[in-house]
A and B are shown apart, each in its own frame.
Chain A
Amino acid sequence: MSIYIIFALNALLFASVLFLLTAGLNIIYGVMRIINLAHGNLYALGAYVTAWVLLTVGYQAFPGPLLYIVPPIIGVLVVGLGALIMEPTLLRPMYKRIEEFQLLITFGVLLILEDLFLLIFGPYPLSVREPYTFLGVSKIGDLSYPNYNFLVIALGFIVAFALWFLLYKTKFGIILRATSLDREMAAAMGVNVKSLFTVSFVIGAMIAGLAGGFIVTKDTAVLGMGIEALVLAFVVMVIGGLGSMKGAFVGALIVGALRQIGTAYFPEIELAILWLIAAVVLTIKPQGLFGR
């Protein structure tokens, strides 16, 4: 029995990470209609900076709960700053051009960031373990489950709730959704679309950075992590529907659950499972589960 509880927790853990990755991508796509290929390495940047802070300053510098707050927040802020520079300088000149330009620019940033990681942080994985091990493990039957994973699961739900609140319960959210539906009409109503784009891009990037900051203590900061994360996020985005936050949430849960089942019972086709789900959803509902 206990193994099934752990299976369920694993599914939630994976879903939580996928949601955090996809949520930012969806905000950016929903508002700006940009597929931000650099998103994966903005996530990796959050991971690298957080790990670097913990390794250079030392975990002792952050007593108590600060260990779980300050280093990831530094990571998030660096990513936010990067996004703040990237949007007006690289993306803004591309809005009026055909989409291929945006894809090329964001893909270029993805590659540049990858080599910057190699240049700055070196080729070896940056591994920090204290925040992960300090929380210990929970006993579920005769099995162990790392408590840190509960934190990551919780983070996914907290960010989902915060985004729902921001989008549906605040004036900013209404403006954001209105701009997403009809950019020209929103501009005609006096919305400063330019700054709204910047803010959306920075928020989307910071969620990715947050995911990276929290994931790095459980995993490692390693070259290539951003590119793989990007691919996964796209799968979830396609399943859930482009630009749909609800789609990201449900899509992440579906992928998380089916991946765990696949790994446990059909390990040979674990990799194929993600694509099979996407193929089935696209065949039945080409716009994704909650796409417009």
Chain B
Amino acid sequence: MSGTDRRGFLKAVGAGVGGLIVGGLAGYFGAPPKEVVKTETVTTTVGGAAQTVTKTVTVGQTARPTPSGPIKLGLQVFFTGPGALLGLPAAYGTRMAVKEINDAGGILARKIELLERDEGPSDATLREFRKLVLEDKIDYYTGLISSGNTPTVGPEAEENKVLTLFVDGCTDILFERAIPNPHYVFRITNIQSSDAITAAVGTMKLLFDRGLIPENPKITGIHPDYAYGRLIYDFYNTAMKKMLPDAEILDQQFPGLFKVTDFSAQITSMIQQRPDLAIVSLWGGDYVNWYKQAIGFGLFDKMKVVTTLTFGGSPQAVGKDHPAGHVGGVHANYWFTNPDWTLWPLNGKFVKKFKDMWGEYPSFEGEGAYTGAYMLKGAIETAAQEVGGYPDEEEIIPILEQWSTYGPAGYIQVRKKNHQCYKNAVIGVTGTSPEYDFAVMSEVLVLPIERVSAPAEYDTSKQWLESWPVGFKP
């Protein structure tokens, strides 16, 4: 309860008076130690822009000593099994950021110790999370790839008061139903509904506007049979029906995630429907198997294909034989050639460092995890300036709630209401480039995130989508 009060107080007074809180609390809880109060001017970064704030800080005996020992950061992603395709790049991103931060002296002179645990099915993931919290006594937690796991671990993180930055597991359900009023939990990658709507808007911009699909397209699709695939099916088709009311949504396929390697039956059934368009949300090995077999059946010649995750694993996972001229997604997050390396050197440097360190190009998971680690560092350091010592979670959270920063993917901001991060969404046209021996985006479409995600005043993304007037094209 006291945490909420203090948070409310901070909200009212603003982040620049943390020192007063420390002094006030010290006075409240017991006999005040001898204090030396002085006023100093510090420059702090709030809201993405540097601004100068004058504030009062207490120093002397009340300045908190920095805790001894390293910062324990728990990292949990898929290191094994088919999910490692997304999990390992995320781990690479976190490890790279941690190494850079430690090499530069750590956070407030504390080194980060990374405690890595495997992600698995929900029960196993939760068990490992509890061990990290209760036995290893981690300070902060990051990771998680699966949308099946974040709604399980999220409430536990809240209960255990662990400051948590989920890298992915981007289901809307997490902040709509599992923890509708998050306090300790934040998430870095774009929300899942934005992924579906990005694919739908990408369909309009890259196919419909160019006359490549008719005004009344027949839409088929194939999706993995779990939360993610079901959401993409629902949101994409609803969005398409809003934008093109004469669209016809056909029966779509739902093979189990990583349970099917031979997609002949599904591919033939999709062709049999004679559609104009197919929405595909398979990913990883499933997508590679599917597209390879779909080429053999001539599917790509018979319809346009829009995907959410063609380029979602490691970029080099999809070969040059991937048909060109279709629409391929990156989970609406990040593609390593965008933003342009010359215009946004931060990205070029990041890609080079990542490639040098890991021998592969970064995926959206790698970028998200890397940016997330730096977000944590930035928020801790800003909070430390505010409170005049190493901050606790309750002091970091108000800073994170209004955090905005920039990473290799560009600008990213936290929405205070749902603790979800937002950055511009990316999707593109599939093609090849002589520079790379794998399929790439031959054209990148960047959509401002506010056009493809629900504004804060809506309780759920679905409410926003359903509020679209017929014929609305964001």
Q: Which residues of A contact B (CB under 8 A)?
A: 3, 6-7, 10-11, 13-14, 17, 114-115, 118, 123-125, 127, 129, 132-133, 137, 143-146, 148-149, 215, 218-220, 222-225, 228-229, 231, 259-260, 263-264, 267-268, 270-271
Q: Measured between alpha carbons, how far is A45 from B357 in the docked complex, in Å?
A: 29
Contacts of B85 in A (CB 8 A): 123-125, 223
The 4 closest A-B pairs by CB, nearest first: A146-B296, A222-B285, A123-B84, A144-B298
Contacts of B152 in A (CB 8 A): none
Residue B268 at the chain A interface, CB threshold 8 Å: yes
Which of B160-168, B186-194, B315-323 contacts its partner? B315-323
Contacts of B259 in A (CB 8 A): 228, 231, 271
Q: Measured between alpha carbons, how far is A118 from B79 in the docked complex, in Å?
A: 9
**Would A263 and B84 be within 8 Å (CB), given that A127-B288, A129-B321 are in contact?**
no
Once the chains bind, are B293 and A219 in contact (CB under 8 Å)?
A: yes
Contacts of B256 in A (CB 8 A): 271
Contacts of A260 in B (CB 8 A): 265, 268
Once the chains bind, are B84 and A125 in contact (CB under 8 Å)?
A: no
A176 to chain B, nearest CB (A): 31
**Would A224 and B82 be within 8 Å (CB), given that A137-B298, A144-B296 are in contact?**
yes
Determine chain A's interface SS by DSSP, over half rule. Answer: helix
Once the chains bind, are B262 and A218 in contact (CB under 8 Å)?
A: yes
Closest Cβ neighbor of A231 among chain B residues: B259
Once the chains bind, are B297 and A143 in contact (CB under 8 Å)?
A: yes
Once the chains bind, are A114 and B81 in contact (CB under 8 Å)?
A: yes
Subset of 10 A-B contacts with CB under 8 Å = A3-B268, A124-B316, A129-B321, A133-B296, A144-B296, A218-B296, A219-B293, A222-B288, A224-B81, A228-B260
Once the chains bind, are B269 and A225 in contact (CB under 8 Å)?
A: no
**New contact pairs (18) apart from A13-B264, A229-B261, A267-B269, CB-CB < 8 Å:** A3-B272, A10-B268, A17-B262, A115-B80, A123-B314, A125-B284, A146-B293, A215-B261, A218-B292, A222-B284, A224-B258, A225-B285, A228-B260, A260-B268, A263-B253, A263-B265, A263-B269, A267-B251
Once the chains bind, are B314 and A124 in contact (CB under 8 Å)?
A: yes
A225 to chain B, nearest CB (A): 6
**Would A270 and B284 be within 8 Å (CB), given that A143-B297, A220-B292 are in contact?**
no
Q: Measured between alpha carbons, how far is A15 from B313 in the docked complex, in Å?
A: 31
Q: Measured between alpha carbons, how far is A260 from B266 in the docked complex, in Å?
A: 8
Contacts of B252 in A (CB 8 A): 267
Residue-wise interface mask of B (212-244) relative to A, using a CB-CB cutoff of 8 A (1 in contact, 0 not): 000000000000010000000000000000000
Interface centre among B80, B255, B261, B314 (most CB of A within 10 A): B261
Once the chains bind, are A125 and B285 in contact (CB under 8 Å)?
A: yes
Contacts of A149 in B (CB 8 A): 264, 296
Q: Measured between alpha carbons, how far is A153 from B22 in the docked complex, in Å?
A: 75
A252 to chain B, nearest CB (A): 13
Once the chains bind, are B268 and A7 in contact (CB under 8 Å)?
A: yes
Q: Measured between alpha carbons, how far is A3 from B268 in the docked complex, in Å?
A: 8
Contacts of B295 in A (CB 8 A): 133
Question: Which one, A3, A10, A123, A133, contacts B321 given CB within 8 A?
Answer: A133
Closest Cβ neighbor of B299 among chain A residues: A144
Q: Measured between alpha carbons, how far is A149 from B296 in the docked complex, in Å?
A: 9
